[in-house]
Chain A
């Protein structure tokens, strides 16, 4: 197989992805935040378009799963991460060389850039050869690399770079500064004075003190005094600097195009896995979903809202996971329960699950078997638009109508607290009408509502309830469970809450 792209079937498909806009469901599902967290550390690679491009091609998704699984092996990940770092350094060095003014300085940056490039490729190739690579994508890329590295042109480049670096490392000189006179000469073994001072005063050491060493800014540029010194150093070492001139002249173009594209596209995987790692460290599960274009029944175990989990982990909070299943003819999850009980979070988690699956990524759940939707529609209550109630209800209905028109039986629709701006009776009537239409269309759906009646509407609806901790009604468990809708209330048991009953104290204070 000839290597073209690590993300797409061919390079044109990759080209098309560049222009994709942000999908409409991003804001409601808080995918915007998730993708921002993923891509921000790698801003330079412009990864967002890749995340704006859901797939409906099971083979390409499998191609990505394979690469992702390879990268899940820590050694493989580390290797490609290191490769990326090398390459980023190389780009930086190239830019430096082009920006700077003095010739010997430019030339040295160019040398270092090429050195980084060679090292990056050699390390990557050697590493990949030794590691258990199973994906079609990485295998093809490895064979591409092997051909490239054994070419005579690359071998010569590598050898000359090494020789030149070594020669420059040997340069060691002295400056004597007195008044306005500077003398440059070879170093002759004079003793280190700072060390002497430090030893003399050592007995006064009292723990850690401030560091008074001044962070003298290392400008990448040279000033004319440094340039004059360098010029005299070059006179102390004439042959080394002649060699450097010649080298730079000959190696102006050295960067390979396929390798450059790979460098960018592989970041899609690295960025996603890096993002995952923070959650996994805290024990949150991810899995490769089993996907289908025909079977609508879906199920997931222990899924969670990634955007919220991100926030919670930062604040040291606990993330609650939830499970759901739509079996047989079941199509719509109706979510009810107390306020602040985790209903919206649950709806988002389900939406994120389907979307991330369509990117060919592992999803936030212990296990997942999902239908691959053609589109995801969302309609979430927007708090900031309450000024005109009649307008709002109308707006709700207009938007729902648009969604119902665009949706196909293969779509996923997520509704959150709609019709809150009207009477209970009206809301119930409207909701039942909408639900009837959804079920007739046979779409998959999640509907967060305060209307218990919807939960038992038909065989196609599944009732999910946000639970409250029986021991402490003040605390929400954020668990959403499959059970008939109800409205539970719980008594306060304060001592129990603070674990100050006899029984609790026996555990906390062993005699």
Chain B
């Protein structure tokens, strides 16, 4: 029984390790804020959304569109999706309602499995009923196929057969085992057998009993506790296989519910996020997605949802036309909205890759083949290596993993050394990456580097600058424009340190 709400042909694989730079992405893009909004306190939704998003760094058009369709269905019937999600939780609770599990006793394992299965089949019947009612209301392939699967696999006939088995498994006529002699002449290969059902009227049964193979019967005396234990151990050897088969089936059915819950959890998370952003009157749109090779990246009203979710003030949005651009170099004043823009671009790309809506009025972009961040770390916890050493080490790890058509976001990288060295290093690295087919988006203060790229000014380069009005105020918006020579840090400094500077300047 498959769920396939996230991929057309497979379920979400939670054992797949996340890319090794996932932790950097979470930190640099402030992904946790977005995940918390998706989770609304449901840890399971949080973890699931985190996994789905981070395992979509390399995605394909088909999967993105498949999920977009399912998500559109969900946005149309949010209540139904939440009901389904609750059912999966109910199914998982059945395990807790059953008696305590004692892993060393097959007959107890068997008893418990029968208990849980009775509860699970009750939920499966409910699920069948919903599928019967709602199949027609869905448009997406994912949800329609899920309904069809439930109707197919849980036929009335099959459900009846299960019930009969559950009755028989109480073994009211005793247990029949076969065995052979193993090492040291101890019994081995204990196999549970189904006694041939006696045929005919009672008197012929009585007669045929006499004709059976010769048998020797003995009884365990009432006071012989060790004997009784030994006997139940033998019985357990016979029940071991069937107890295992049943317990495993129980777990399979539970894991079907877990799977269903997980895949629904992602969409429940999307519903939550959509509600949170809508509540703040912020726009959302389904992006138009192009193949990676097309190098498309055009947007209107793109904003940073992480900032929007934590801040009550007005949110700055950016427009941009970066189709065909491989290097986007962002310069300009400190605290001018550069990092926020970089994050909004990264988050939008992440959500797009995951098949979600994006925080923008309009968003047209190519899929990317991997998303990487290299942000300047303000402090290095491990003093083992120097700062530049640490930065280069991280960059080298990225170079190991990066492929053509990946998107790399750099935020003040190589600022840990002097400008000349930093610029030279950055130029060598970025030039090689761009030539390799990587799209690089770089926020930098390295003037020498910016000047050098501006002089080269190749068509695949785009220069953005933090906007500053004539009176010196920042708009936190980015505009197209080549780097300016003067640093903006000076005026920031002048303002913050105004009083100190005055005192210093006063003669005598």
Q: Which residues of A contact B (CB under 8 A)?
A: 96, 100, 104-105, 107-109, 112, 168-169, 171-188, 190-194, 196-198, 200-201, 203-207, 209-214, 216, 218, 220, 222-226, 228-230, 232-233, 235-236, 494-495, 497-502, 505-506, 508-511
Whether the Cβ atoms of B212 and A185 lie closer than 8 Å is yes
Which of B184, B187, B231, B429 is in CB contact (< 8 Å) with A500?
B429
Q: Known interface pairs A209-B252, A505-B432. Does A226 touch B215 (Cβ–Cβ under 8 Å)?
A: no
Q: Which residues of chain B are near A214, meaning CB under 8 Å?
A: 103-106, 109, 236, 240, 243-244
Pairs A–B under 8 Å by Cβ, sample size 22? A174-B176, A174-B177, A175-B176, A176-B195, A179-B174, A181-B218, A190-B193, A197-B165, A197-B245, A197-B246, A209-B252, A211-B244, A224-B226, A225-B227, A225-B230, A226-B230, A232-B218, A235-B216, A495-B392, A502-B432, A505-B429, A509-B435
Residues of B367-411 contacting chain A, CB below 8 A: 388-389, 392-393, 395-396, 399-400, 402
Whether the Cβ atoms of A204 and B249 lie closer than 8 Å is yes
Which of A190, A210, A213, A228 is in CB contact (< 8 Å) with B176?
A190
B108 → chain A closest CB, angstroms: 10
Q: Which residues of chain B are near A506, meaning CB under 8 Å?
A: 432
Whether the Cβ atoms of A212 and B192 lie closer than 8 Å is no
Whether the Cβ atoms of A226 and B396 lie closer than 8 Å is no
Whether the Cβ atoms of B236 and A172 lie closer than 8 Å is no
Whether the Cβ atoms of A498 and B392 lie closer than 8 Å is yes
- Alpha-carbon distance between A235 and B187 when the two chains are bound, in angstroms: 15
B490 in the interface, Cβ–Cβ < 8 Å? no
Whether the Cβ atoms of B165 and A183 lie closer than 8 Å is no
Q: Known interface pairs A112-B183, A233-B181, A498-B392. Does A226 touch B234 (Cβ–Cβ under 8 Å)?
A: yes
Q: Which residues of chain A are near B135, meaning CB under 8 Å?
A: none
- Alpha-carbon distance between A179 and B396 when the two chains are bound, in angstroms: 71
Whether the Cβ atoms of A200 and B161 lie closer than 8 Å is yes
Whether the Cβ atoms of B255 and A223 lie closer than 8 Å is no
Whether the Cβ atoms of A210 and B220 lie closer than 8 Å is no
Q: Known interface pairs A194-B192, A502-B431. Does A220 touch B174 (Cβ–Cβ under 8 Å)?
A: no
Q: Is the interface of B mostly helix, strand, loop or mixed?
A: helix
Closest 5 CB pairs of A and B: A178-B174, A185-B215, A212-B247, A201-B249, A505-B432
Q: Which residues of chain A are near B183, meaning CB under 8 Å?
A: 108-109, 112
Of chain A, the residue at the smallest CB distance from B169 is: A197
Q: Which residues of chain B are near A230, meaning CB under 8 Å?
A: 185-187
B425 in the interface, Cβ–Cβ < 8 Å? yes
Whether the Cβ atoms of B436 and A510 lie closer than 8 Å is yes
Q: Give the interface centre of B185, B192, B236, B438 by most chain A CB atoms within 10 Å.
A: B185
Whether the Cβ atoms of B175 and A177 lie closer than 8 Å is yes
Q: Mark B274-308, 1 if CB is under 8 A from A, else 0.
A: 00000000000000000000000000000000000
B7 in the interface, Cβ–Cβ < 8 Å? no
Q: Known interface pairs A212-B248, A214-B236. Does A498 touch B396 (Cβ–Cβ under 8 Å)?
A: yes
Residues of B350-373 contacting chain A, CB below 8 A: none
Of chain B, the residue at the smallest CB distance from A186 is: B213
Q: Which residues of chain A are near B245, meaning CB under 8 Å?
A: 194, 197-198, 201
Whether the Cβ atoms of A203 and B1 lie closer than 8 Å is yes
Whether the Cβ atoms of B180 and A171 lie closer than 8 Å is yes
Q: Which residues of B contact A (CB under 8 A)?
A: 1, 103-106, 109, 153, 161-162, 165, 169, 173-181, 183-187, 191-196, 212-220, 222, 226-228, 230-231, 233-238, 240-249, 251-253, 255-256, 259, 388-389, 392-393, 395-396, 399-400, 402, 425, 428-429, 431-433, 435-438
- Alpha-carbon distance between A510 and B404 when the two chains are bound, in angstroms: 10
- Alpha-carbon distance between A201 and B402 when the two chains are bound, in angstroms: 45
- Alpha-carbon distance between A218 and B190 when the two chains are bound, in angstroms: 13
Whether the Cβ atoms of B252 and A201 lie closer than 8 Å is yes
Of chain A, the residue at the smallest CB distance from B216 is: A232
Q: Which residues of chain A are near B105, meaning CB under 8 Å?
A: 214
Whether the Cβ atoms of A177 and B215 lie closer than 8 Å is no
B263 → chain A closest CB, angstroms: 13
Q: Is the interface of A mostly helix, strand, loop or mixed?
A: mixed
Whether the Cβ atoms of B228 and A212 lie closer than 8 Å is no
- Alpha-carbon distance between A458 and B337 when the two chains are bound, in angstroms: 73
Whether the Cβ atoms of A190 and B196 lie closer than 8 Å is yes
Whether the Cβ atoms of A207 and B237 lie closer than 8 Å is no
- Alpha-carbon distance between A192 and B190 when the two chains are bound, in angstroms: 11
Q: Give the interface centre of A178, A205, A509 by most chain B CB atoms within 10 Å.
A: A509
Whether the Cβ atoms of B222 and A494 lie closer than 8 Å is no
- Alpha-carbon distance between A495 and B247 when the two chains are bound, in angstroms: 57
Whether the Cβ atoms of B177 and A191 lie closer than 8 Å is no
- Alpha-carbon distance between A502 and B399 when the two chains are bound, in angstroms: 12
B423 → chain A closest CB, angstroms: 13
- Alpha-carbon distance between A185 and B212 when the two chains are bound, in angstroms: 9
Q: Known interface pairs A190-B176, A228-B218. Does A500 touch B246 (Cβ–Cβ under 8 Å)?
A: no
Q: Which residues of chain A are near B181, meaning CB under 8 Å?
A: 108, 168-169, 171, 233
Q: Which residues of chain A are near B186, meaning CB under 8 Å?
A: 105, 218, 222, 226, 230
A225 → chain B closest CB, angstroms: 4
Whether the Cβ atoms of B428 and A193 lie closer than 8 Å is no
**Known interface pairs A109-B184, A192-B193, A494-B392; 18 further A-B residue pairs with C-beta atoms within 8 A, sorted by A's residue number:** A96-B184, A105-B186, A175-B178, A180-B228, A182-B231, A188-B212, A190-B178, A190-B195, A193-B192, A214-B236, A214-B243, A216-B106, A220-B184, A236-B216, A498-B393, A499-B396, A505-B399, A505-B433
Q: Which residues of chain A are near B194, meaning CB under 8 Å?
A: 190-193, 196
Of chain B, the residue at the smallest CB distance from A507 is: B432
Q: Which residues of chain A are near B219, meaning CB under 8 Å?
A: 180-182
- Alpha-carbon distance between A228 and B226 when the two chains are bound, in angstroms: 14
Q: Which residues of chain B are near A228, meaning CB under 8 Å?
A: 218
Whether the Cβ atoms of B234 and A100 lie closer than 8 Å is no
Q: Which residues of chain B are near A206, meaning CB under 8 Å?
A: 1, 252, 255-256, 259
Q: Which residues of chain B are near A203, meaning CB under 8 Å?
A: 1, 153
Whether the Cβ atoms of A183 and B177 lie closer than 8 Å is no
Q: Which residues of chain B are near A174, meaning CB under 8 Å?
A: 176-179, 193
Whether the Cβ atoms of B193 and A500 lie closer than 8 Å is no
Whether the Cβ atoms of A500 and B191 lie closer than 8 Å is no
Whether the Cβ atoms of B215 and A184 lie closer than 8 Å is yes
Of chain A, the residue at the smallest CB distance from B402 is: A509
Whether the Cβ atoms of B109 and A224 lie closer than 8 Å is no
Whether the Cβ atoms of A168 and B184 lie closer than 8 Å is no
Q: Give the interface centre of B231, B392, B400, B437 by most chain A CB atoms within 10 Å.
A: B231
- Alpha-carbon distance between A182 and B246 when the two chains are bound, in angstroms: 26
A120 → chain B closest CB, angstroms: 17
Q: Which residues of chain B are near A207, meaning CB under 8 Å?
A: 255
- Alpha-carbon distance between A505 and B428 when the two chains are bound, in angstroms: 8
Q: Which residues of chain B are near A194, meaning CB under 8 Å?
A: 191-192, 241-242, 245
Q: Known interface pairs A200-B165, A225-B234. Does A105 touch B174 (Cβ–Cβ under 8 Å)?
A: no
Of chain A, the residue at the smallest CB distance from B108 is: A214
- Alpha-carbon distance between A222 and B240 when the two chains are bound, in angstroms: 19
- Alpha-carbon distance between A510 and B403 when the two chains are bound, in angstroms: 10
Whether the Cβ atoms of B220 and A223 lie closer than 8 Å is no
A197 → chain B closest CB, angstroms: 5
- Alpha-carbon distance between A108 and B187 when the two chains are bound, in angstroms: 12
Q: Known interface pairs A174-B193, A212-B109. Does A509 touch B216 (Cβ–Cβ under 8 Å)?
A: no
Of chain A, the residue at the smallest CB distance from B13 is: A207
Q: Known interface pairs A214-B104, A498-B393, A508-B399. Does A236 touch B177 (Cβ–Cβ under 8 Å)?
A: no
